[in-house]
Amino acid sequence: MGEFVRLEVDGAVGTIRLDRPKMNAINGQVTAELKAVAEQARDTAEVRAVVLYGGERVFAAGADIKEMSTITYGEMLAWGGKLQESLKVVARIPKPVIAAVTGYALGGGFELALTADFRVLGERAKVGVPEITLGVIPGAGGTQRLTRLVGPAKAKDLVFTGRHVAAEEALAMGIADRVVPDADVYATALEMARSYAQGPAVALRTAKQAIDDGLEMDLDSALRLETALFAGLFSTEDQKIGMTSFVENGPGKAQFTGR
C-alpha cells in the first residue's frame, strides 16, 4: 500500500482509494502509487470488479500545479509519460471499473475518471479539463478518451474553454452514467461493482477487451476479433455452467465460478 493510494478489498470488489489531503492532487508519488495499486487490483484474483474513489469530499481536483510549474520540457516528457502509463494500467484493468465521483474531478483527476468503464457522479460534482486556463492542454487522455466518449465537438468545447461541467450536464453529455445524491455515490458504485462481480469473470474480461480493442480497429478487423474471443470462451467452465443452467433452469439463474 502506498502513502496516498491504496487498495481496499471487500468481498469481490476492490476500491482504489486516493487519499492525499486536501484535494487528492496528482503528483509524481501519486502517479507511481496509482500504477502499483492498479496492478495489484488487476492481479488479485478475488477482486472481480473495481471502484475508483477519492473520498466523500473530492475525487481528484487535478495535477499538482506547484510541482508541475517549474518542470522543464524534457522533464515533462518523462513526467507526462509516467502519468499516461499509470492511467493506461487503470484503463486496462481486465475487470469492470466504476469511478465514484464526489466534488471535483478536474484535469488529471477527470482523466483518471475517464479510464473507468462507468462514472457515478454526485449531484454537486463537477468535472472538466481546465488545462487551457494554464496555457497548456490536457496531457493524460483528456483530448483522446474524452473525444471517444462524447465526440469531437463536445470534447473541443470542454478543452477549448476549460469550463467546469455540473453533474446533470455531464449526464446529458454521456460523461456520467448515473447521478445520485452526494452521500450515495460510493454505495451506488459499490452496488454496481458487486452486480458485475457476480458474473462470469472470464467472459466479462473478454467483453471489455472486445469493446476497447475493437474501438481502435476497422469494423472487419474488430468483427474477426469478436469471433475469436467468442469462440475462446467455449473452453471456460463458466460457459458450461451458464449454458447448462439455461437448458435446465431457464435464463438468469447460473452461479458462476469465475473460471
108 within domain boundaries = yes
Query: Exposed, middle or buried: residue 248 (CB in 10 Å: 0-12, 13-18, 19+)?
Result: exposed
CATH number for 74: 3.90.226.10
Q: What's residue 125's pLDDT?
A: 98
Q: What is the pLDDT of residues 118-171, one digit of tens each?
A: 999 999 999 999 999 999 999 999 999 999 999 999 999 999 999 999 999 999
Is 169 in the active site? no
Q: What's residue 113's pLDDT?
A: 98
Q: Are residues 62 and 142 in the same domain?
A: yes
Which of 3, 56, 85, 131 is the catalytic position?
A: 131
Last residue within a domain, chosen from 174, 197, 220: 197
Q: Are residues 108 and 234 in the same domain?
A: no
pTM of the complete model: 0.95
List the domain range (segments joined by +) for residue 224: 201-249
- Total count of domains within the chain: 2
Q: Are residues 99 and 207 in the same domain?
A: no
Pairwise CA distance, residues 129 & 109, whole Å: 9
Q: Are residues 172 and 106 in the same domain?
A: yes
Q: Are residues 27 and 123 in the same domain?
A: yes
**Cell digits for 258?**
469465475
CB-based contact 55:109 (threshold 8 Å): no
- What residues of the chain score a pLDDT lower than 50? none
Which of 67, 85, 111, 191 is the catalytic position?
A: 111
Is 226 in the active site? no
Q: What's residue 63's pLDDT?
A: 85
